[in-house]
């Protein structure tokens, strides 16, 4: 979907989202069915918005992973276990990655699994501040609750002194106050979500 296309394309997505939300409010479907419908909707919206960038959003059965484009197929943003929130998180990473990182598997990031050392955790949190701040804004636009994730449940050190949650909150607030500092692709998706899902961001709700 290009910026020159008529807004009636987004109007269709808005109607679809409202129907899903109505079904949720009226308990017409299970929570799992609603989640699946929302995920299908997000995949269609993302793939329409960014079709010109040779990238697609796809469900993953296991852990998330980014696959750069090849001559045979577009780049793939694969999110974990079909979860809506995982999709928002992986889109956030993609929106921050520059042209060079988008040519690298997993954007060239080194990733240590759960059970990281204190030093590894500090590196992880520094890398995650901006993506999780953007994920927070995406979540709020969709009317979903956002929770900061330190993603280190098996840490063998005291994590209570971490400022990560505050850092993410401050970054999200900075983006709200200075939206021009958001990556361009994040701005594009936020604008689409603002139209299709809700009218405004309430700053008090952030994170």
The pLDDT tens digits of the residues spanning 158-193 come to: 566 778 889 999 999 999 999 999 999 999 999 999
Can you list the residues of the chain whose pLDDT is less than 70?
A: 1-7, 110-116, 150-160, 199-207
Given this model, what pLDDT does residue 159 score? 61
Helix (H) or strand (E) holding 198: none
Tokens of 119: 């030093």
| β partners of residue 58 | 78
Given this model, what pLDDT does residue 157 score? 52
**What one-character DSSP code corresponds to residue 75?**
E
Given this model, what pLDDT does residue 185 score? 97
Given this model, what pLDDT does residue 122 score? 79
pTM for this structure?
A: 0.86
| β partners of residue 75 | 55
Nearest to 134 by CA among 93, 87, 194, 83: 93
Helix axes 118-141, 164-177, angle to 10 degrees: 40
């Amino acid at each position: 979907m290009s910026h020159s296309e008529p807004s009636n394309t987004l109007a269709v997505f808005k109607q679809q989202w409202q129907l899903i939300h109505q079904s949720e409010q009226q308990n017409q479907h299970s929570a799992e069915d609603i989640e699946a419908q929302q995920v299908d909707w997000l995949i269609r919206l993302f793939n329409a918005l960014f079709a010109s960038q040779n990238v697609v959003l796809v469900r993953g059965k296991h852990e998330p992973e980014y696959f750069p484009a090849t001559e045979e197929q577009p780049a793939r943003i694969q999110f974990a276990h079909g979860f809506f929130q995982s999709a928002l998180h992986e889109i956030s990473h993609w929106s921050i990655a520059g042209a060079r990182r988008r040519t690298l598997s997993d954007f060239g990031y080194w990733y240590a699994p759960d059970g990281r050392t204190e030093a590894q955790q500090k590196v992880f949190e520094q890398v995650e501040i901006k993506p999780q701040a953007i994920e927070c804004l995406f979540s709020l636009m969709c009317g979903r609750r956002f929770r900061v994730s330190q993603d280190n449940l098996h840490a063998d050190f005291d994590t209570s002194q971490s400022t990560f949650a505050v850092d993410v909150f401050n970054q999200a607030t900075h983006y709200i106050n200075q939206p021009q500092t958001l990556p361009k692709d994040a701005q594009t998706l936020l604008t689409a979500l603002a139209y299709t899902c809700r009218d405004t961001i309430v700053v008090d709700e952030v994170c």
